[in-house]
Amino acid sequence: MKSAPVTIKDIAKALNISISTVSRALRGMPEIHPDTRSAVMRLAEEWDYQPNQLAKNLAKSRTKTIGVIVPNLSYYFFSAMLNSIEDAAIQAGYSVLVCQSNESYLRETMQIQNLLRSQVEGFILSLSRDTSNCAHVERLIQKNVPLVLFDRYADNMAASKVMVDNREAAFKATEHLIENGCRRIAFLAGPPQLVLSNQRLAGYRDALTKHGLYMGDQYVFHCDYTQENTLMQTLALMSLPQPPDGLLTVSDRIAYPAMYAMKQKGVRIPDDVAVVSFNNEPLSSLFSPSLTSISQPIQEMGMETVRLLLRQLEATDGPITPETTVMPTQLVVRESSLRMKSADFLNGVLSS
Amino acid sequence: MKSAPVTIKDIAKALNISISTVSRALRGMPEIHPDTRSAVMRLAEEWDYQPNQLAKNLAKSRTKTIGVIVPNLSYYFFSAMLNSIEDAAIQAGYSVLVCQSNESYLRETMQIQNLLRSQVEGFILSLSRDTSNCAHVERLIQKNVPLVLFDRYADNMAASKVMVDNREAAFKATEHLIENGCRRIAFLAGPPQLVLSNQRLAGYRDALTKHGLYMGDQYVFHCDYTQENTLMQTLALMSLPQPPDGLLTVSDRIAYPAMYAMKQKGVRIPDDVAVVSFNNEPLSSLFSPSLTSISQPIQEMGMETVRLLLRQLEATDGPITPETTVMPTQLVVRESSLRMKSADFLNGVLSS
DNA sequence: TTGTATGCGTTATCAT
DNA sequence: ATGATAACGCATACAA
């Protein structure tokens, strides 16, 4: 039971002037007489007038709003990206509508439709785990709706993308394990339909091959990002006839339960199994052992994503050719992968 | 550069009928002739017609939308609450607009204003860390805008609230520490302006007093929820002339860095210091030692929050008297607080 | 400097 | 069963 909100019509009536004058005064147009303006402002203030954004947007046929859909905001990576995206968007005068797909293809499709109906002018999108069919995204592209994908994208899509060099990152992570004496390196991958998971898998294979350690994918297991599933996959991995002595995981969120399961089994980290992961969440440094992880430049990725979208939003002449930005990663070495032999340690100390 | 979206007017023109007929057909009104309806539907489908939600809402003067403002979605508690709230809201035919205050009072005020302008019909709100002045919320109440606060609320506000029994929870957590042999129990509290922090502080004091262990607040330190600050406070705590042998923290998010700092200092957990915390995040069971924590019924809290809001939204006769729901918590005991003396252990084994 | 009139895309109240 | 037409709250081109 709330009273009807005050409109410019109310103000106009009270002041005995026309609504257009009120409208102009409120928006600070220069042609308005100072007295009129101050009278309008006073009343608006006093009545706590709030412009109706719906009406405003409808009248201008513009919302200056972009829709953001991510799989799940409880993942550090996505909530951090959201913050970065929001900052950049606000900076550019846009506001943001956020939705979660909850890793569901169906929900993703519905969210796109909802946002479309809410007249968002463009999309920033990271695909759900269960999205293999991309017809819904293709339709956006066909309609020339400005769109940028980040992190979780699909191949063969004529859309702008922002991502890190997943292959290279996995390659250097794997090499790091090799340098630390690992010979049987396992990979806890993500769902097979995730491009980024496959790219990281490729980097992992390449590194092993380069060092003559590739023995097929017997050490590759796929996880679905849930804790239970990861625990199971890890146990399966460790009960292999020849258990691994090194482990690469596709995400910190997978590394945590994996490390837990191994510790429960009496496996020492890094001595028995060295671990490297992806994402470098703030928590990864607090675990014991602290977790070596690939860090992504989240801040910059968010800004870049918005930049690519703005380029499309503000394009005047025809559809824009999609751009892809590949950003660099950094391996943050911590305890979970450091197996310093005493000789190496001494060398390190002496040479510094 | 996207082409103008199709409207009912376009469909009407193409079919040579009036827009009202199209509108009715699209909404499945019974009075429409089957042939007309199917013709309209066909074209709408073919052209991928999307109703303009702005226009719809403006015409109906209803948005069926509720605004949710939380401090930060990267906290597990808040993103989990959001999921629960969204589910319940959708269930009731409402959609949700989410905003983060980023723990800033200013931002919180702006978000409220933005949501108000977007014509949300009600608010679900958890106050920012920096919110001590509550004029912005009071104004909502004065305007009779439906509103429910959860978790982070302020006292003396005539609004509906959902929370857990913080005092009781802290009391039983502290008693648990005492039962496990702790005699000098410290409390890493949150910012002093957070009501929930003070309530937990009260429960902590009461438990100590009851057992004759209260020695003033020399063991109470306030954290601001950042990792760095928590590390510092923990180090300060441990360098007290008589360091604590038990630790209660106001949040898992504070417990993680605290445990990390202690381990760095060679403090053994739980032997030297036993730890109990709040929130029972999924990760708390993966740390080593696994973390004893107070669990809140997030799913139920979200549903209850929405229920209280709906009661206001759908009230017809005058303003509703605010309701407060206090929900139960559960102490989930794990390794960080379990100091089983060998005798107890044997008893436990023998009696089972 | 101000007012009038029209439109934004839809719903809803009249008629017909 | 369908068609005009007036809202909804605001912006804006055109008049005055």
C1' of D12 to CA of A99 (Å): 34
What is the structure's pLDDT at A340? 73
Shared domain check, A236 and A191: yes
Per-residue pLDDT averaged across B77-82, rounded?
97
- Residue B260 at interface with chain A, using a CB cutoff of 8 Å: yes
- Report pLDDT digits (tens) over B215-232: 999 999 999 999 999 999
> pLDDT at residue B347 above 50?
no
A195 & A118 share domain: no
Share of chain B above pLDDT 90, in %: 90
Token representation of residue B92: 């009731």
What H or E segment, with its residue span, contains residue B187?
Answer: strand B185-189
Q: Strand C within 7 Å of which CB atoms in B 59-98?
A: 59-60
The partner residue sitting opposite A2, judged by closest CB among B97, B143, B316, is B143
B98 touches chain A (CB under 8 A): yes
pLDDT of residue A342: 40
The closest of A262, A264, A245 to A254, measured between CA atoms, is A262
- Protein-covered nucleotides on strand C (Cβ within 7 A): 1-5, 7-13
Q: Residue A286 and residue B259: Cβ atoms within 8 Å?
A: yes
Q: Are residues A99 and A49 both part of a single domain?
A: no
Smallest Cβ–Cβ distance between B286 and the set A63, A114, A257 belongs to A257
> Same domain for B86 and B146?
yes
pLDDT of residue B3: 78
Closest chain A residue by Cα to residue B75: A74
* CB proximity A19–strand D (7 Å threshold): yes
CATH number (domain holding residue B341): 3.40.50.2300
Same domain, B285 and B205: yes
Q: Give how many domains chain A has, as a whole number.
A: 3
A239 and A227 both lie in a single domain? yes
Are B251 and B187 in a shared domain? Answer: yes
Q: Amino acid identity, residue A57?
A: N
What's the pLDDT score for residue B349? 39
Q: What local confidence, expressed as pLDDT, does residue B75 receive?
A: 93
Q: Are residues A52 and A144 in the same domain?
A: no
pLDDT tens digits along B120-142:
999 999 999 988 889 999 999 99
Average pLDDT over residues B136-149: 95
Cα–Cα distance measured from residue A267 to residue A284, given in angstroms and rounded to the nearest whole number: 19
The letter for the amino acid at B142 is: Q
Output the pTM of the full model: 0.94
Residue B338 confidence (pLDDT)? 94
Which residues, in sequence order, are CB contacts of A129 under 8 Å at separation 6+? A71, A103, A190, A191, A193, A194, A224, A225
- The pLDDT score that the predictor gives to residue B221 is 97
DSSP SS3 for B279:
coil
> Is A173 found in the same domain as A117?
no
Give the span between the Cα atoms of B44 and B236, in whole angstroms.
67
Span B283-335, pLDDT tens digits: 999 999 999 999 999 999 999 999 999 999 998 777 789 999 999 999 999 99
| Nearest protein residue to nucleotide C5, judged by CA and C1' positions | A20
Residue B101: closest CA among chain A residues belongs to which residue? Answer: A83
| Record: contact A82-B73, CB cut-off 8 A | yes
Return mean pLDDT, chain B: 94
Higher pLDDT, B198 or B320: B198
Element of type H or E holding A294: strand A292-295
Residues 165-224 of A with CB under 8 A from B: none
A53 touches strand D (CB under 7 A): no
What pLDDT, on a 0 to 100 scale, did the predictor assign at position A341?
Answer: 57
**Does residue B101 sit in the same domain as residue B248?**
no
Please answer whether residues A281 and A290 qualify as being in contact, where contact means their C-beta atoms are separated by less than 8 angstroms. Answer: no
State the DSSP H helix or E strand holding residue A348, giving kind and residue range, or none if neither: helix A342-351
pLDDT in tens, chain A (352 residues): 567 899 999 999 999 999 999 999 999 999 999 999 999 999 999 999 999 999 999 999 999 999 999 999 999 999 999 999 999 999 999 999 999 999 999 999 999 999 999 999 999 999 999 888 899 999 999 999 999 999 999 888 999 999 999 999 999 999 999 999 999 999 999 999 899 999 999 999 999 999 999 999 999 999 999 999 999 999 999 999 999 999 999 999 999 999 999 999 999 999 999 999 999 999 999 999 999 999 999 999 999 999 999 999 998 777 789 999 999 999 999 999 998 754 444 444 334 3
- Among A28, A60, A92, which residue terminates a domain? A60
**Which one of A18, A39, A60 terminates a domain?**
A60
Q: What CATH number corresponds to the domain at position B15?
A: 1.10.260.40
Enclosing domain of residue A314: 61-162+298-326
Percent of chain B with pLDDT over 70: 96
Question: Within this chain, do residues B212 and B346 fall inside the same structural domain, yes or no?
Answer: yes
A84 and A232 together in one domain: no
**B144/A3 Cβ within 8 A:** yes
Positions in chain D where some atom is under 7 Å from a protein CB? 1-5, 7-13
